[in-house]
Chains A and B, each alone.
Chain A
């Protein structure tokens, strides 16, 4: 069964705008991760946030985590056409076995 549920399913914006994607999950976690998938390619890891962290930055990416609400958000600032991709959140469901459970993803389209 899916763990993360991304919202919205699809997002369309203009270059230069900010893009915000949300992820909700159902169980306790050790960490939550965000991945990007360009069309026809494998997934690429973007950022990992641990359960005891509330916010993390990496370049134009900002991730927040609210464990009380079991939710996370990914903000991409000043979007570029090259950011067009699907974005997935993944959690470990509190396991230390390395297993990850992915959501269905948000399809982001950035128009030039």
Chain B
């Protein structure tokens, strides 16, 4: 299994540009989520999904969109990039959200985004 994969690893954007960060998992996990990590901060939840066709907002959703058309993929779209979105973005998945004993999350390697 490849686990959780993310592309690209690095990206530089200009203010106002849009782009999509890709995330895929091959573990048949129900739950997927996107976090951003800023220096000196922990991870903050942007959006999450509890299954195909179902998404919801996390703590910091503004400026981002998500969709979940398949179990495997969970892309994150930046609509109009701003310097405040410069961050490292992590995608994660977990087997089941219903049973709290099994909701350990598996993380991708991250995408380092710089917005100029």
Chain A contacts to B: CB under 8 angstroms? 1-2, 4, 30-31, 33, 35, 40-45, 48, 50, 88, 90, 92, 96-105
Contacts and interface: CB of A to CB of B under 8 A. Distances in A.
Q: Which 6 A-B pairs have the closest CB atoms?
A: A98-B97, A42-B107, A102-B42, A30-B100, A98-B31, A45-B104
B105 A45 contact: yes
B2 interface: no
B1 to A, nearest CB: 15
Contact of B45 (A35, A42, A96, A101): A101
Contacts of A33: 104-105
Contacts, number: 73
A44 B108 CA distance: 9
Query: Which of under 10, 10 to 19, 20 to 34, or 35 or more describes the interface residues of B?
Result: 20 to 34
A98 B54 CA distance: 13
Given A4-B42, A88-B42, A104-B41, A99 B33 contact: yes
A40 B9 CA distance: 11
Contacts of B96: 98
B89 to A, nearest CB: 11
Contacts of B74: none
Nearest to B99: A96
Contact of B107 (A1, A43, A97, A105): A43
Interface of B: 4, 31, 33, 35, 40-45, 48, 50, 56, 58-59, 90, 92, 94, 96-98, 100-101, 103-110
B41 A96 contact: no
B90 A43 contact: yes
B30 to A, nearest CB: 8
A42 B103 contact: no
A41 B101 contact: no
A103 B101 CA distance: 20
A4 B44 CA distance: 12
